[in-house]
Amino acid sequence: MAREQTEVRELQEGNYVMINDVPSKITAYSTSKPGKHGSAKARVEGTGVFDGQKRNFTQPVDAKIWVPIINRKGGQVISVQGNDMQVMDLDTYETFTMRIPDGLDPSSDDEIEYLEYESQRKVV
């Protein structure tokens, strides 16, 4: 698994974090003051990197949490067929098929940037 552990207090908006075992990008981060018998709590809201679903959690700021290691890579479009495109990774020359996201009109030889985590990929 491509992830590492960190404390909740180290998180910031724009970082990635695992929420319900799904890699998510933090959209909001807030903390409450420590109470009489407890530590400060952090509320973290995020959006799934690959599915776009909103998620959140609340935990003490000194709790440990998993942070996914998401790689940003470059690829070249080899061919386009319907809603899918064949892409070749520019570093490893591996080829794979990706769904074409809305608003993108790729053609052969276009270079794209994509995010990769384990076996999931998404065009940036």
Place of tokens 């990635």: 16
In tens, the pLDDT along 29-45 reads 999 888 777 789 999 99
Q: Are 56 and 113 members of one domain?
A: no
The CATH number given to whatever domain includes residue 46 is: 2.30.30.30
40 vs 104: CA distance, rounded Å? 43
32 vs 30: CA distance, rounded Å? 7
> So what's the pLDDT on residue 74?
95
What's the token pair of residue 17?
A: 């974090």
What's the token pair of residue 11?
A: 């998180």
- C-alpha closest to that of 81 among 101, 97, 102: 97
Give the end of a domain, one of 68, 85, 115.
Answer: 68
The CATH number given to whatever domain includes residue 88 is: 2.40.50
Q: Are 90 and 57 members of one domain?
A: no
96 vs 40: CA distance, rounded Å? 45
Give the end of a domain, one of 25, 41, 68.
Answer: 68
CA distances from 49 to 32, 60, 92 (A): 26, 24, 23
> So what's the pLDDT on residue 39?
83
Whether pTM > 0.95 for this model: the answer is no
> So what's the pLDDT on residue 116?
93
Position 1 confidence tier, pLDDT thresholds 50, 70, 90? low
Position 66 confidence tier, pLDDT thresholds 50, 70, 90? very high
* Dihedral, CA of residue 46, residue 74, residue 88 and residue 79, to nearest 10: 80
In tens, the pLDDT along 70-123 reads 999 999 999 999 899 999 999 999 999 999 988 888 888 899 999 999 989 999
CA 110 to chain centre: 23
Q: Are 13 and 49 members of one domain?
A: yes
Range of the domain at 117: 71-123
Q: How many domains does the chain have?
A: 2
Q: Are 61 and 8 members of one domain?
A: yes
